[in-house]
Amino acid sequence: MGRFWMVFVEGGGSPTHRHATRQQAEAEAERLAEKTGRRAFVLAAVSCCEVTRVRWSPVGEAEQDVPF
């Protein structure tokens, strides 16, 4: 995943669309500001956090013959 930008309109909902360039996000921010009469902010993704591993832990003794 590369860098992307999103537009947040003050008093609006959460941003959902990723813009591939800053210029695209700025054009959308301008459009939304004109449409809503509210300030629109261009947000840049600067970092990402994700869980990438699942850890399994044994519980009690392992059964040799599982009945199903």
What is the structure's pLDDT at 59? 86
Residue 50 lies in a domain: no
Look at the chain and report how many structural domains it folds into. 1
Domain annotation covers residue 14:
yes
Query: Could you tell me whether strands 5-9 and 40-44 are parallel, antiparallel, or unpaired per DSSP bridges?
Result: antiparallel
Quick: pLDDT tens for 9-39: 999 999 999 999 999 999 999 999 999 999 9
Q: Is 46 in contact with 1 (CB distance < 8 Å)?
A: no
Q: Residue range 1-15: average pLDDT?
A: 94
Distances (CA, A) of 1 to 4, 15, 22, 45, 65: 9, 18, 16, 11, 45
Domain presence at residue 68? no
Could you list the residue range(s) of the whole structural domain that residue 16 is in? 5-44
